[in-house]
Amino acid sequence: MDFDAMDKEELRKYLDFLMWHYRVVDAFWYVAIEEELGADQADHFNERVWEKAAGLAAEAIVKRFDIRKKGLEGLLAAQGYFPWAIIVGYQIERSSDKVLLSVPECPVQSARLKRNLGEYNCKEMHRREFMSFARAIDPAIRVECIHAPLDPHPPERICQWRFTMESP
């Protein structure tokens, strides 16, 4: 495949395919472990994988896209390149001392609900994912879950996370 020969539309179609495939691989590896070893083991491995993958992604994003900012500005700059941020469409609210990241609709939770499986208890996995990502940007960033499944949540969002800076 010659990416240099592709026009913008072809590159966009291929990028859309890669994002779709990224989701498919994530979903099927989890389902395979759940079927073989049960939900507790699938959750355990999912937490470990996303903790590691998010930190590595943040490090690679910082290097590849020359992100020099630290703190919440660095987090926001890097988060814009993270595949799940693009797939999910995080809603970001920024103030002087915090970032609120909201997920209005989660593809994983939507797919589960469509299949009558109930919400997936993703809080610990995302806590590890966000902490690992944030730590790679700036170790002083703190992550707090406002709510995530299986917590009750308003109909307009599935989860919400707060990012702040550790006090000096």
Residue 12 belongs to a domain = yes
pLDDT at 167 over 90: no
pLDDT digits (tens, 9 = 90+) for 38-65: 989 999 999 999 999 999 999 999 999 9
Total number of domains in the chain: 1
Q: Are 159 and 153 in contact (CB under 8 A)?
A: yes
Residue 151 belongs to a domain = yes
pLDDT digits (tens, 9 = 90+) for 144-157: 999 999 999 999 99
Residue 109's pLDDT band (cuts 50, 70, 90): confident
- Give residue 1's pLDDT: 80
Residue 40 belongs to a domain = yes
Residue 46 belongs to a domain = yes
pLDDT at 13 over 90: yes
What CATH number corresponds to the domain at position 41?
3.30.1380.20
Backbone angles phi, psi at 161, to 5 degrees: -130, 145
pLDDT at 168 over 80: no
Residue 158's pLDDT band (cuts 50, 70, 90): very high
Residue 1 belongs to a domain = no
Please give the model's pTM, rounded to 2 decimal places: 0.91
| 16 token code pair | 């859309």
Residue 66 belongs to a domain = yes
Residue 114 belongs to a domain = yes
- Give residue 118's pLDDT: 82
Smallest Cα–Cα separation from 148: which of 157, 139, 138?
157
- Give residue 113's pLDDT: 86
pLDDT at 99 over 90: yes
Residue position matching structure tokens 């690679």: 60
Residue 2 belongs to a domain = no
Give the range of the structural domain holding residue 69, as residue numbers without chain letter. 7-165
